[in-house]
């Protein structure tokens, strides 16, 4: 699979611009899947463009586990969460290069949101192995990859890697400027 560089931390702030909502509206993208009380895993949140909306949707009884490999992204996310009054619902973690640090979450996750992250990870196979292990049976994973960086062939390779870890395509969904699919944990 093609390797892609990790997005520089300062681009995280550009990705969190409110203008992006006109292209990729977090409410529109997330509200079909995220319910109050859920535990949601978000690998590669950056500074939290989607995370804050996930935290609103899970409500005070829910939790978002946001895991990023760059400490600067996690610090930016925490700052923005505090300002929005959502800090208590967000478990923000720094991942290692080779592991997302999810050992305490076996079969705990109701929904995983992986937006524009899988192509940056060093091993697609490890990524889906870890995500799958953390997810409950029947839980969904929304996979979206930017079509400007990731070709159809690479996206299909990602789907094959996911399937090898019991994450099967339930639906191909349509999101602007993305290849995207909803996967379900068998």
Query: Would you count residue 70 as binding ligand SAM (CB under 6 A)?
Result: yes
Position closest to ligand SAM via CB: 44
Contact 90, 53 (CB under 8 A): no
How far, in Å, are 125, 139, 148, 176 from residue 160 at the CA level?
Answer: 9, 18, 21, 23
Three-state SS across 18-54?
HHHHHCCCHHHHHCCCCCCCCEEEEECCCCCCCHHHH
**Closest distance between ligand SAM and the C-beta of residue 12, in Å?**
6
Q: What stretch of H or E contains 133?
A: helix 124-134
**Binding residue count for ligand SAM, defined by CB under 6 A:** 21
Contact 142, 112 (CB under 8 A): yes
Q: Which of 53, 68, 130, 145 binds ligand SAM (CB under 6 A)?
A: 68
Query: Would you count residue 57 as binding ligand SAM (CB under 6 A)?
Result: no
Nearest to 33 by CA among 179, 170, 129: 170
Q: How long, in residues, is the chain?
A: 186
Residues 118-137 that bind ligand SAM (CB under 6 A): 120-121
Residues 35-54 that bind ligand SAM (CB under 6 A): 43-46, 49
Query: Would you count residue 86 as binding ligand SAM (CB under 6 A)?
Result: no
Using the contact rule CB under 6 A, the part of the chain among 102-110, 112-120, 164-172, 173-181 near ligand SAM is 112-120
CA 105 to chain centre: 15
Query: Would you count residue 95 as binding ligand SAM (CB under 6 A)?
Result: yes
Comparing CB distances to ligand SAM, the nearer of 70 and 180 is 70
N-term to C-term CA, the chain: 25
**Closest distance between ligand SAM and the C-beta of residue 119, in Å?**
8
Query: Would you count residue 7 as binding ligand SAM (CB under 6 A)?
Result: yes
Q: Point out which residues bind ligand SAM (CB under 6 A).
A: 6-7, 12, 15, 43-46, 49, 67-70, 73, 95, 100, 115-117, 120-121
């Amino acid at each position: 699979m093609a390797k892609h560089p990790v997005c520089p931390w300062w681009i995280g702030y550009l990705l969190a611009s409110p203008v992006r909502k006109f292209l990729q509206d977090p409410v529109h993208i997330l509200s079909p899947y995220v319910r109050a009380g859920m535990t949601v895993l978000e690998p590669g949140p950056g500074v939290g463009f989607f995370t804050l909306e996930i935290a609103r949707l899970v409500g005070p009884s829910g939790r978002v586990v946001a895991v990023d490999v760059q400490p600067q992204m996690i610090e930016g996310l925490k700052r923005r969460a505090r300002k929005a009054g959502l800090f208590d619902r967000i478990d923000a973690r720094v991942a290692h290069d080779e592991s997302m640090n999810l050992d305490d979450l076996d079969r705990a996750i109701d929904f995983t949101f992986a937006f524009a992250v899988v192509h940056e990870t060093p091993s697609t196979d490890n990524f889906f192995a870890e995500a799958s292990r953390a997810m409950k049976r029947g839980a969904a994973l929304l996979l979206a990859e930017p079509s400007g960086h990731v070709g159809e062939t690479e996206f299909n390779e990602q789907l094959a890697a996911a399937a090898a870890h019991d994450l099967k395509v339930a639906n191909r969904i349509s999101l602007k400027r993305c290849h995207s699919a909803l996967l379900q944990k068998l």
